[in-house]
Structures are given as structure tokens and as C-alpha cells.
Chains A and B, each alone.
Chain A
Amino acid sequence: EPEVTQTPSHQVTQMGQEVILRCVPISNHLYFYWYRQILGQKVEFLVSFYNNEISEKSEIFDDQFSVERPDGSNFTLKIRSTKLEDSAMYFCASNNRLNYGYTFGSGTRLTVV
């Protein structure tokens, strides 16, 4: 069964550093997403991406965040200057919009120290 692959599985970074979280969506999917889940809290939408541009973003997705699909297969989330409160599990997802059900990756646990 096709999978969404996320790397790394766990990233530790110092406050103020830039991090890039990487994702390889399912190859024939057209819509790509980033969500995050802070420990003990809800899964929260960050951003959706279609046709090489952001289609929707939440209030969380401020100027410190950016997304890119650099080579037609990878989908990245960059946090320019990490804060302690960015510590969370970050999930990438993709779908082909047929039934709106995403396929999620296993997540990257980001720890900002």
C-alpha cells in the first residue's frame, strides 16, 4: 500500500535554529498538507498546498513557516527560527481529493531545546 514518508522521525534543535522537515507524498496525489500535534493537544492544521502554491493556511502558519515542493516528489516544511512552543509532532499528509481522506505519514517529532 502506498505510504507517505517523513524524515527524520525525530529532530532535536536549539531555539532560534532553522529546521526543515521532509516528506515524500504518495506519487499520484495532488494535494499536500502539514498538521501538527502538540503533546496532549489536538491535531492542528498548518497548511495545504496544491499546484505549487499554498491553497489555505491557519493562523499558526505565520512568517516563520514556509513550505516548498522543490523537485516534484519532496514536500518540505521549514521553520526559520524555532521557538520552544514549536515542539510537537508534525504530520505530512496527501490526498487526491476523491473522498477528502488524507493519507498521513508517521510524523516527525520536533523537540526545541
Chain B
Amino acid sequence: DQQVKQNSPSLSVQEGRISILNCDYTNSMFDYFLWYKKYPAEGPTFLISISSIKDKNEDGRFTVFLNKSAKHLSLHIVPSQPGDSAVYFCAASVTGNQFYFGTGTSLTVIP
């Protein structure tokens, strides 16, 4: 199952700078997209969502961008904080029920 890919396994960013996490997908039928972050020994925590009718959604420091023609999704965190250090997963769904997850990107924010 390679429908959702996160090609960068890790990313390091200085505190206060922008973190950009990327996600690519192959299924053009995906209509719903989510970003989660996960700390060790915890379940994923929902961050932000976007549906295919929009190309941008913003919530505080988090902004998700959707480029449907490129089948590309990105999460911007501005400004990055040390507490943002976690593994970030993107997920996509056709129906809103079954979500396909990427493999995750481990973000480290350096104080």
C-alpha cells in the first residue's frame, strides 16, 4: 500500500523558524486529508484537516496546503517550538471513514 507517502523520515528546524512537512498521494479520489502528530507511547493527536474543495486551511500556527493537481499536501508550522518535536503523519481518505496513513516524518525543533 503506497497510496500516501512521506518521503522525508526526519526534519530538523531551529526554534522560531518555519517547519514544512510534505506528503504525496497517488489516489485522485481522496477527498479528505488530515495531519496528526504523535509522541512516543501515545496515540496520534489530530492537528488539522482539509477537504478537496479547499486549497488551504489555517489553525493558529498550523496551515495545511493542498495541491490537487500535484497530489501534494504540506503542513506548515510557524513559528516552530520545541514542543512541536514529534512524529507527524498525513492521512487521506475517499469516504472520510478509512484513512490511509503515511509513514511519518520525525520533526525535531532545536532550541
B-binding residues in A (CB < 8 A): 4, 31, 33, 42-45, 48, 55-56, 58, 91, 93, 97, 99-107
Is the pair A101, B41 in contact by a Cβ cutoff of 8 Å? no
Q: How far is the CB of A103 from chain B (nearest CB, A)?
A: 7
* Complexed CA–CA distance, A101 and B32 (Å): 10
Interface size class of B (residues with CB under 8 A): 20 to 34
Is the pair A104, B44 in contact by a Cβ cutoff of 8 Å? yes
* Complexed CA–CA distance, A55 and B32 (Å): 17
Find chain A residues with CB under 8 A from B32 CB.
100
Output the nearest chain B residue to A50 by Cβ-Cβ distance. Answer: B97
Can you list 23 A-B contacts (CB < 8 A)? A4-B43, A31-B97, A33-B97, A42-B1, A42-B100, A42-B102, A44-B1, A45-B99, A45-B100, A56-B95, A56-B97, A91-B43, A97-B96, A100-B34, A100-B51, A100-B96, A101-B47, A102-B34, A104-B36, A104-B46, A105-B43, A106-B41, A106-B43
Find chain B residues with CB under 8 A from A91 CB.
43-44
Find chain A residues with CB under 8 A from B97 CB.
31, 33, 48, 55-56
Find chain A residues with CB under 8 A from B91 CB.
43
Contacts A55-B97, A56-B95, A97-B96: A43 and B42 contacting too (C-beta < 8 A)?
no
A-binding residues in B (CB < 8 A): 1, 32, 34, 36, 41-49, 51, 89, 91, 93, 95-103
Name the one of B46, B47, B98, B101 contacting A103, with C-beta atoms under 8 angstroms. B46
Name the one of B44, B45, B93 contacting A43, with C-beta atoms under 8 angstroms. B44
Task: Please name the 5 residue pairs, one residue from A and one from B, whose CB atoms are nearest each other, closest first.
Answer: A104-B43, A101-B46, A43-B101, A56-B97, A48-B97
Extra A-B contacts (15), CB below 8 Å, given A42-B100, A106-B41: A4-B43, A33-B97, A43-B91, A43-B101, A44-B1, A44-B101, A48-B98, A58-B98, A91-B43, A97-B96, A100-B96, A101-B34, A102-B46, A103-B46, A104-B46
